Amino acid sequence: MTQATEKPRVVIMTVDDDPGVSRAVARDLRRRYGATYRIVRAESGESALQALRELKLRGDLVAVLMADHRMPQMNGIEFLEQAMDIYPSARRVLLTAYADTNAAIDAINVVDLDHYLLKPWDPPAEKLYPVLDDLLQAWHTGDHRPVPSIKLIGHRWSARSSEAREFLARNQVPYRWYSADEPEGQRLLSAAGQDGQRLPVVVTPDGTLLVEPDTRELAARVGLATTPATDFYDLIVIGGGPAGLGAAVYGASEGLRTVLVERSATGGQAGQSSRIENYLGFPDGVSGGQLTERARRQAAKFGAEVLTTREVTGLEASGAARIVRFSDGSAITAHSVILATGVSYRQLPAPGADELIGCGVFYGSALTEAASCEGHDVYIVGGANSAGQAAMHLARNAKSVTLLVRGSSLAASMSHYLIQQIEQTSNIQVRHDTVVEAAHGSGHLQQLTLRDTQSGHSEIVDAQWLFVFIGAAPRTDWLNETVLRDRRGFILAGPDLTPDGRPPADWELDRPPYHLETSIPGIFVAGDARAESAKRVASAVGEGAMAVMLVHRYLEQS
């Protein structure tokens, strides 16, 4: 008689760096829940994350995560934050001492903490089990079916593969990466009838095969919205960074038919940040991806449409209508428009760099590449907050991180808290007065030529990884002469439209332009694309909300 396959038990995980405490916690859990749940214990955050990844690969479910707050290298809050990306529906519990209750309260914002328990909890029948019973009951009422993931087969030094990974990751689309050089990747390529010459190859959950797909095709196949539901809206928001997401949330929540149009992925530059630590309400920091995903869910909850991979190429006014045109020739119309196109990093003016983009040279954090940097020497160009945040993130795994800064000091461009963190991180070196003169490599980055701007001396260093964060170029070229911009391309608004603060000569209304209103009534600007903006996440979100308030005022008077 064939023995029936045992159904895998749901996991409760406990993490504590003290072996004695770890065993005691696991013992208490097994007494009550061992017959129904599998109890897994770990003695460090890193080992616990590795165990979670293995559980995920096997298709196991995790109901509760319990982590001690005071652990070295990775404390309980940091562990729970990373564990959220692996098992987002698991209930999260922080184990604290009496002195750590403030940290536990702060963790409610950082990791959506479900509960915190004070140690010791004797007797467990009164102080531990009732809490876990409630959490387990809440977990069981949810939907925990595994999310089908996409298979992405590519090459480490393939620019197209890197682009596809970054696109899926930034749009929060679950996928599994397979290297075409490894046995499993080769097996999948063979099954798909591909020889690996054209990469990446994408296999969707329904078995659809995509070979070298562009982002538009990829978006449509993985369930991202790319086509507007209608052709007329109250508000069109162009750009999905913090300002655009803020505008979409407030516009939709206040009853406006709102659509947000994004050319690649929501989040903008902020969405690529490994950790934002000076954003209000997140004292322990929050990753740009997490902040972006929460904002996108908020916008969708209130009814805003979010379109991806739609490139806007034109904007015009026709009577009371504002028309937005796309690169494929289609268009949508609205009563009002908010321009939240943000900025992009300037290209590195170094011979050889353009040919190696995605093959060792990356603009922005490219967080999907961080794991591949383990044990390697990494170079970062830039001296502002985004470069500093990337340095701190990459330093966790890289052998060394070298910040290449054109200026003689970080103080003029980087927040004080980041400078302090960099100074206290032993494997981060800052080279001032240094620029990249050239990038070298065959198929991928292999060397850099660095020049000291003070002495003029140049040297060649071995390098496989270069992340570039230089300057901010507004994404406004497509506007042409539609609205007034300054000489650098940033959009002028309100009193900044003319030197004397008066309305432009062709302004058609009796009233002056509102604070964030451009030279065309009903078209507003918010965030980094606006001339003289603060270039901070908090101010961008605030401007997005303020722009919606002004849209209401405009619509009431139209």
The CA distance from 530 to 342, in Å, is: 8
**% the chain with pLDDT above 90:** 65
CATH superfamily placement of domain 11-140: Response regulator (3.40.50.2300)
- When pLDDT is cut at 50, 70 and 90, the band that residue 5 belongs to is very low
Please give the pLDDT value at position 227.
95
- pLDDT greater at residue 489 or residue 175: 489
- When pLDDT is cut at 50, 70 and 90, the band that residue 156 belongs to is confident
**What's the mean pLDDT in 30-51?**
94
Helices (H), 3-122: 19-33, 45-58, 76-86, 101-111
**What's the mean pLDDT in 328-344?**
96
Please determine, for residue 112, whether its predicted confidence score (pLDDT) is greater than 50: yes
Tell whether domain 150-221 is in CATH 3.40.30.10.
yes
Please give the pLDDT value at position 372.
84
Please give the pLDDT value at position 275.
78
Please determine, for residue 4, whether its predicted confidence score (pLDDT) is greater than 60: no
Please determine, for residue 32, whether its predicted confidence score (pLDDT) is greater than 50: yes
Token output for 150: 């996409």
Please give the pLDDT value at position 6.
45
Q: What is the pLDDT of residues 391-432, one digit of tens each?
A: 998 998 899 999 999 999 999 899 999 999 999 999 999 999
Q: What is the pLDDT of residues 338-387, one digit of tens each?
A: 999 999 889 999 999 999 999 999 998 766 777 788 899 999 999 999 99
CB 104 within 8 A of CB 77: no
**What's the mean pLDDT in 268-274?**
80
**What's the mean pLDDT in 269-294?**
82
**What's the mean pLDDT in 292-302?**
92
Please determine, for residue 105, whether its predicted confidence score (pLDDT) is greater than 60: no
Tokens 């300037």 sit on residue? 346
Mean pLDDT, the chain, integer? 90
**What's the mean pLDDT in 325-331?**
97
Q: Supply the DSSP string of 121-160, one letter for each residue.
A: --SHHHHTHHHHHHHHHHHHTS--PPPP-EEEEE-TT-HH
Please give the pLDDT value at position 76.
87
Tell whether domain 354-468 is in CATH 3.40.640.10.
no
Closest C-alpha to 165, from 124, 197, 200, 130 = 200
Please give the pLDDT value at position 302.
96
In CATH terms, are 11-140 and 232-344+473-557 the same topology?
no
**What's the mean pLDDT in 496-520?**
92
CB-CB neighbours of 89 under 10 Å? 12
Closest C-alpha to 342, from 245, 413, 274 = 245
* Cα–chain center distance at 278: 16
Q: Supply the DSSP string of 430-471, one letter for each residue.
A: EE-SEEEEEEE-SSS--EEEEEETTT--EEEEE-SEEEE---
- When pLDDT is cut at 50, 70 and 90, the band that residue 3 belongs to is very low
- pLDDT greater at residue 338 or residue 18: 338
Amino acid at 550: L
Please determine, for residue 2, whether its predicted confidence score (pLDDT) is greater than 90: no
- When pLDDT is cut at 50, 70 and 90, the band that residue 289 belongs to is confident
Please give the pLDDT value at position 205.
83
Q: What is the pLDDT of residues 75-101, one digit of tens each?
A: 888 898 888 878 888 999 988 875 555
- List the 62-68 sheet strands across, edge first: 38-42, 11-15, 62-68, 91-96, 115-118
- List the 400-404 sheet strands across, edge first: 361-363, 465-468, 377-381, 400-404, 428-431
Please give the pLDDT value at position 281.
85
The CA distance from 461 to 450, in Å, is: 8
Please give the pLDDT value at position 356.
96
Please give the pLDDT value at position 9.
78
Please give the pLDDT value at position 61.
92
Please give the pLDDT value at position 327.
96
Please give the pLDDT value at position 53.
84
Please give the pLDDT value at position 1.
33
Q: What is the 3-state secondary structure (H, E, C) of 191-236?
A: HCCCCCCCCCEEECCCCCEEECCCHHHHHHHCCCCCCCCCCEEEEE
Please determine, for residue 108, whether its predicted confidence score (pLDDT) is greater than 60: no
Please give the pLDDT value at position 106.
59
CATH class of residue range 232-344+473-557: alpha beta
Q: Strands 175-179 and 447-452: what pairing?
A: unpaired
Q: Where are the domains of the chain?
A: 11-140, 150-221, 232-344+473-557, 354-468
CB 409 within 8 A of CB 495: no
* Torsion sign across C-alpha atoms 285, 288, 292, 294: negative
